[in-house]
């Protein structure tokens, strides 16, 4: 039996975002460590802030694409409880793909710091300068990062389980290079 794959656009957005987000998590946790050379820390902050803008834009593009082009149904062999868990976890991933960059933006702008990519194109600061707001956003961004890391471990684990153990066609729906799905 063949399964329909996600569109090439959906797969491309997924894998670009996967690479960016998987690079952002360790950079985000590393950049706040004490003892780093200032130049290294500055480079990590610069990367994290500006890639965060790209992630937010791609998240909106991905949500718009998904709204206009719903994904394929899961194979009938997937138990209902697993389909529900998959739906909830994907929903949470989408929420965090938007919430994390927004919290980061608020933290940086309310803290009075630049976001070089946005400053270069002349986008005005959309958040007032506020240390209290910056602290709330900083906490939200930190705990959201932990939640995102946990969800990604579960998501990647489930993908590998479907690809390597079950071989039920779920992986092939989003795989970047596979040609068809068979079960």
Say if 182 falls within a structural domain: no
Task: Say what the pTM is.
Answer: 0.91
Question: Looking at the DSSP assignment, which residues form a beta bridge with residue 2?
Answer: 182
Instruction: Please report whether residue 1 resides in a domain.
Output: no
- Which residues sit opposite 142 in a β-bridge? none
Is 129 domain-assigned? yes
Residue found by looking up tokens 């153990």 in the block: 165
Confidence of residue 181 (pLDDT cuts 50, 70, 90): very low
Which tens digit of pLDDT belongs to each residue from 68-86?
Answer: 999 999 999 999 999 999 9
| Confidence tier at 148 by pLDDT (50, 70, 90) | very high
- CA 59, 90, 24, 49 dihedral sign is positive
Please indicate, yes or no, if residue 144 is contained in any of the structural domains. Answer: yes
**Domain hosting residue 31, numbered range:** 8-174
Domain count for the chain: 1
């Amino acid at each position: 039996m063949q399964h329909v794959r996600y569109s090439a656009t959906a797969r491309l957005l997924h894998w670009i975002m996967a690479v960016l987000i998987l690079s952002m998590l360790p950079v985000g946790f590393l950049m706040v460590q004490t003892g780093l050379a200032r130049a290294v820390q500055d480079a990590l902050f610069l990367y994290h802030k500006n890639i965060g803008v790209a992630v937010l834009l791609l998240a909106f593009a991905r949500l718009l694409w998904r709204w206009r082009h719903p994904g394929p149904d899961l194979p009938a062999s997937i138990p209902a409880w697993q389909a529900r868990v998959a739906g909830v976890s994907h929903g949470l991933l989408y929420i965090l793909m938007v919430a994390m960059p927004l919290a980061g933006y608020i933290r940086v702008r309310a803290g009075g710091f630049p976001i070089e990519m946005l400053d270069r194109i002349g986008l005005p600061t959309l958040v007032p300068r506020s240390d209290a707001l910056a602290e709330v956003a900083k906490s939200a961004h930190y705990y959201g990062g932990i939640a995102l890391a946990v969800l990604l471990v579960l998501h990647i684990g489930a993908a590998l389980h479907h690809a390597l153990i079950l071989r039920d066609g779920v992986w092939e729906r989003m795989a970047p290079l596979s040609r068809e799905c068979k079960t």
